[in-house]
Amino acid sequence: MKEMDTKQIKAFRGIGRKQVMDIIMPFFLVFLAFLLSSIWITFMGKNPLEAFATLFRGAFGSATSFANTIKKSVPIAFCSFAVIVSMKGNAFNIGAEGQLICGAIGATLAGALFRGLPAPLHIFLCIVASALFGMLFGLFPTMMHRFRGVDLLVIFLLMNNVAEYFLQYFVLDLFKSQNALVPSSRAIEKTAELPYLIGPPYRMTIAIILVLICAVVLTWFFNRTVAGYEMRAVGQNRQAARYAGIPIGRYTTMALLLSAMLAGIAGGLEVLGNYHCLYTEISPGFGYDGIPIALLCNANPLLAVIGSVAFGALRNGSLAMQAKVGISSEIVNVIQGSLILVIASNYFIRYLLNWRRRAK
């Protein structure tokens, strides 16, 4: 695929000059996506309003459910950071799903194989391992893209499939637990488990603090450092960046590798914080969640945190919806898909809104 030139980037960042429009637009797009999804709920003979009310209550209704929402939003936030970083460097990382899986594998290996380390060091090592595994998995497509001009999106999507099978192989065969009821890998050591910030029954780990730190560091990186500035320049206008003497190929590669690392950490934190071992269903599509968030929040890491909480609420609330209203929690993926489709037609929706205002 051709690189995204400035015109295209403008197309999905929006062309309207009005600041108000820029703020209202994301909410309007989300509203449209919900509207599209409610068609399917109505089709099943259920009341969509009741369903979404249950979803909302399931996500924010009690302290426990709110804690669960926050927990769910941690990997989503890291995946959205991953997509944001890649977008800043003029690429589009849709391989976050595969990198997340590899990061989870890395964390599991480091968590189970290193023994007798003090807790902080062990946790640090596991997170480093997950970042490293994520990066290594992103390395091959990135290099192929840079040196052979291979279409990034196609190779990333295929790598996701490879990662899924490798995860099955890893969990069911290579590293399987001998005495578990559900097929899972060996559990990580006690010293590798993330400490609780708020203990049971909420079980909120320090992962949420890592998310906030990461968001702040990324904002600082993009706004206050030379490397961040140059990376942004590459993302916004390749030609101008090249004339300014910025090595564009190097920055795109760097952005993709950093992005893969962040996606890997997302998987690592899932293992270290939530499950303490690896299942085949470690990710219900967290990697794809990052894409609409990154596009909607205009590649702003701080806003992405809010977007991730919203998506976490969706994932958590859908479970309550499944239990109470009887609508399959698969509706989340339908909402996610319709949201991306609606974002893709962003330009046209803006055109329609514009036309109405002009007609008045």
Partner 1 sequence: MDEILSLLLSVIRLCTPIFIAGLGNMFCERVGVLNLGAEGMMISGAFMAVLGSFLTGSAWCGVLFGLAGGMIAGAIHALICVEFGGLHAISGLGLTIFCRGVAKFMCVAVFGSTYSPNVQAIQTTELFAGVPVVGQWLKQLSPLVYLAIILGFLAHYVIFHTTFGLRVRALGDNPRAVETAGIDVWKMRFIGVFICGLLCGLAGAYMGLGQLDRYFDGMISGKGMIAVIAVKMGNWTPIGIAGTALLLGIFDAIQLKLQISNTLNLSPEMLAMVPYLAGIAVLCMKKKQDGRPMALDTIYLRNRYKF
- Examine residue 298 and tell whether it contacts partner 1 (CB under 8 A): no
Give the closest residue to 327 by CA, choosing from 51, 5, 43: 51
- Examine residue 337 and tell whether it contacts partner 1 (CB under 8 A): yes
Site map for partner 1, 76-115, x if CB under 8 A? ----------------x-x---------------------
- Examine residue 227 and tell whether it contacts partner 1 (CB under 8 A): no
Closer residue to partner 1 in complex, CB, 166/275: 166
Sole binder of partner 1 in the list 25, 194, 309, 343 (CB under 8 A): 343
- Examine residue 331 and tell whether it contacts partner 1 (CB under 8 A): yes
Tell me the two tokens of residue 300.
């702003």
Position 105: which residue type? I
Stretch that binds partner 1, among 117-125, 164-172, 187-195, 221-229 (CB under 8 A): 164-172
SS3 13: helix
To the nearest whole angstrom, how small is the minimum distance from the Cβ of residue 313 to partner 1? 18
Site map for partner 1, 238-277, x if CB under 8 A? ----------------------------------------
The answer to whether the beta carbons of residues 139 and 257 sit under 8 Å apart is: yes
User: Parallel, antiparallel, or unpaired: how do β-strands 204-205 and 196-198 relate?
Assistant: antiparallel
CA separation for the pair 193, 207 (Å, rounded): 11
> Which DSSP string corresponds to 77-129?
HHHHHHHHHHHHTT-----HHHHHHHHHHHHHHHHHH--S--HHHHHHHHHHH
To the nearest whole angstrom, how small is the minimum distance from the Cβ of residue 233 to partner 1? 21
Closer residue to partner 1 in complex, CB, 159/254: 159
Sole binder of partner 1 in the list 6, 11, 139, 228 (CB under 8 A): 11
Sole binder of partner 1 in the list 155, 246, 306, 310 (CB under 8 A): 155
Q: Which residues of 81-94 are buried (b: 16+ CB within 10 A; e: fewer)?
A: bbbbbbbbbbbbbb
Task: Kindly state the DSSP code that residue 176 receives in the 8-state scheme.
Answer: B
- Examine residue 159 and tell whether it contacts partner 1 (CB under 8 A): yes
CA separation for the pair 350, 22 (Å, rounded): 10
Stretch that binds partner 1, among 79-87, 104-112, 182-190, 331-339 (CB under 8 A): 331-339
Computed from CA positions of residues 289, 336, 66, 186, in that sequence, does the dihedral angle turn out positive or negative?
A: negative
Residue 277 CA neighbour count, 13 Å, CB half: 18
Touching partner 1, residues 21-40 (CB under 8 A): 40
Residues that bind partner 1 (CB under 8 A): 1-2, 4, 7-8, 11-12, 15, 40, 44, 92, 94, 144, 148, 150-151, 153-155, 157-159, 161-162, 164-166, 168-169, 172-174, 285, 288, 291, 295, 328, 330-341, 343-348, 351, 354
